[in-house]
Chains A and B, each alone.
Chain A
Amino acid sequence: MAYADKILSGGNILTMDQARPSAQAVAIRDGRIVAVGSVADVAPCRGPGTADVDLDGATLMPGFVEAHGHPFWSSQAWGEPVVDIRAIHVPTYAAALEKMKRRAAKARDGEVLWFLGLDPALHQGMKEPTREDLDAISARNAIVVQTSNFHAAFINSRAAELFGIGDDYQAPEGGKVFRDDRGRPWKLHEMAAWSLGERFHRMLSADCKLGNLDEWQRKFVRAGYTTSSDILLAPGTARPIAQALARLPKWLRIVGYEAMAAGGAVSVPQGPVTDMFTMTGVKFHADGSVLLGNVWTSAPYLNNEMTLQGMGLPRDSTGHALYDFDALYARVRRYAGEGWQVAIHAHGDRTIDLALDVFERVLRECGRVNGPFRLEHCGLMREDQIDRALSLGVVASFFLPYIYHWGEALRDCLLGREAAERFVPSGSATARGMRVSYHCDAPMTWPDALKCLYVAVTRKTMKGAVLGGDQRVSMAQALRALTVDAAYHLRMEHEIGSIGVGKLADFVVLGADPLSWDPEDIMSLPILGTYVGGEATAP
Chain B
Amino acid sequence: MRKLPVTLLCGFPGSGKTALLRRLLAGAQAGQAKIAALVHDFAAVGLDQGPVARAAGGRVALANGCVCCAIQDDLVVALARAAREADAGTRIVVECGGVAHPASLAGLFGHPLAGQMLALDRVVCMVDACLFPDLDYAETELAIDQAAMADLVLLNKADLASGQSLEAIEATLLGAQPAMRIVRCEHGCVPAELIVGPGAAAPLTAAARSAARMA
Q: Which residues of chain A have a CB within 8 Å of any CB of chain B?
A: 86, 88-92, 94-95, 98-99, 102-103, 106, 445-446, 448, 451, 462, 511-512, 523-526
Q: Is the CB of A106 within 8 A of B137?
A: yes
Q: Is the CB of A98 within 8 A of B172?
A: yes
Among B3-11, B24-32, B107-115, B188-196, the one that faces the other chain is: B107-115
Give me the 9 closest cross-chain CB pairs, A-B, nearest first.
A98-B175, A106-B137, A524-B110, A88-B211, A446-B214, A95-B176, A462-B210, A88-B214, A524-B112
Nearest CB to that of B176 among chain A residues? A95
Residue total for B at the interface (Cβ-Cβ under 8 A): 22
Nearest CB to that of B175 among chain A residues? A98
Q: Is the CB of B172 within 8 A of A524?
A: no
Q: Does B131 contact A (CB under 8 A)?
A: no
Known: A95-B176, A99-B176. A445 touches B115 (CB 8 A): no
Q: Is the CB of B178 within 8 A of A102?
A: no
B198-215 CB mask vs A (1 if < 8 Å, else 0) is 000000000100110110
23 contacts between A and B (CB under 8 A): A88-B210, A89-B148, A89-B211, A89-B214, A92-B178, A94-B175, A94-B178, A98-B176, A99-B144, A99-B176, A102-B137, A102-B140, A102-B141, A102-B172, A106-B136, A106-B137, A446-B214, A451-B213, A523-B110, A523-B213, A524-B111, A524-B112, A525-B112
Of A99, A462, A523, A524, the most chain B CB neighbours within 10 A belong to A524
Which residues of chain B come closer than 8 Å to A92, judged between CB atoms? 178
Q: Does B177 contact A (CB under 8 A)?
A: yes
Known: A102-B172, A106-B136, A526-B112. A446 touches B211 (CB 8 A): no
What separation, in Å, do the CA atoms of A140 and B89 have in the docked complex?
A: 57
A22 to chain B, nearest CB (A): 22
Known: A88-B211, A89-B148, A89-B211. A103 touches B175 (CB 8 A): no
From DSSP, what is the main secondary structure of chain A's interface residues? loop
Which residues of chain A come closer than 8 Å to B103, judged between CB atoms? 89
Q: Does B170 contact A (CB under 8 A)?
A: no
B149 to chain A, nearest CB (A): 8
What separation, in Å, do the CA atoms of A462 and B111 have in the docked complex?
A: 17
Which residues of chain A come closer than 8 Å to B207, judged between CB atoms? 88, 91
A20 to chain B, nearest CB (A): 29
B185 to chain A, nearest CB (A): 24
Q: Which residues of chain B have a CB within 8 Å of any CB of chain A?
A: 103, 110-112, 115, 136-137, 140-141, 144-145, 148, 172, 175-178, 207, 210-211, 213-214
Q: Is the CB of B137 within 8 A of A103?
A: yes
Which residues of chain B come closer than 8 Å to A89, judged between CB atoms? 103, 145, 148, 211, 214
Q: Is the CB of B175 within 8 A of A446?
A: no
What separation, in Å, do the CA atoms of A69 and B178 have in the docked complex?
A: 35
Q: Is the CB of A446 within 8 A of B176?
A: no
Q: Is the CB of B175 within 8 A of A95?
A: yes
B109 to chain A, nearest CB (A): 9
Q: Is the CB of B213 within 8 A of A446?
A: yes
A454 to chain B, nearest CB (A): 11
Q: Is the CB of A95 within 8 A of B178?
A: yes
A202 to chain B, nearest CB (A): 24
What separation, in Å, do the CA atoms of A455 and B177 have in the docked complex?
A: 29
Nearest CB to that of B114 among chain A residues? A524
What separation, in Å, do the CA atoms of A511 and B207 have in the docked complex?
A: 25
What separation, in Å, do the CA atoms of A432 and B176 have in the docked complex?
A: 47
Which residues of chain A come closer than 8 Å to B172, judged between CB atoms? 98, 102
What separation, in Å, do the CA atoms of A511 and B176 have in the docked complex?
A: 37
What separation, in Å, do the CA atoms of A95 and B144 have in the docked complex?
A: 11
A77 to chain B, nearest CB (A): 13
Q: Is the CB of A445 within 8 A of B137?
A: no
Which residues of chain A come closer than 8 Å to B213, judged between CB atoms? 446, 448, 451, 523
Which residues of chain A come closer than 8 Å to B112, judged between CB atoms? 511-512, 524-526
Q: Is the CB of B214 within 8 A of A90?
A: no
Q: Is the CB of A526 within 8 A of B178?
A: no
Contact with B176, one of A90, A451, A523, A525 (Cβ below 8 angstroms) = A90
What separation, in Å, do the CA atoms of A100 and B173 have in the docked complex?
A: 14
Of A88, A462, A512, A526, the most chain B CB neighbours within 10 A belong to A88
What separation, in Å, do the CA atoms of A106 and B137 have in the docked complex?
A: 6
Which residues of chain A come closer than 8 Å to B148, judged between CB atoms? 89-90, 95
Which residues of chain A come closer than 8 Å to B145, judged between CB atoms? 89
Which residues of chain B come closer than 8 Å to A448, judged between CB atoms? 213
Of A98, A106, A448, the most chain B CB neighbours within 10 A belong to A98
What separation, in Å, do the CA atoms of A448 and B107 have in the docked complex?
A: 14
Q: Is the CB of A91 within 8 A of B177?
A: yes
What separation, in Å, do the CA atoms of A512 and B116 have in the docked complex?
A: 15
B90 to chain A, nearest CB (A): 23
Which residues of chain B come closer than 8 Å to A523, judged between CB atoms? 110, 213
Q: Is the CB of B175 within 8 A of A445?
A: no
Nearest CB to that of A96 among chain B residues? B176
What separation, in Å, do the CA atoms of A95 and B111 have in the docked complex?
A: 31
A117 to chain B, nearest CB (A): 10
Nearest CB to that of A523 among chain B residues? B110
What separation, in Å, do the CA atoms of A90 and B178 have in the docked complex?
A: 10
A31 to chain B, nearest CB (A): 31
What separation, in Å, do the CA atoms of A526 and B112 have in the docked complex?
A: 8
What separation, in Å, do the CA atoms of A526 and B74 have in the docked complex?
A: 15
What separation, in Å, do the CA atoms of A92 and B148 have in the docked complex?
A: 12
What separation, in Å, do the CA atoms of A86 and B215 have in the docked complex?
A: 10
B204 to chain A, nearest CB (A): 10
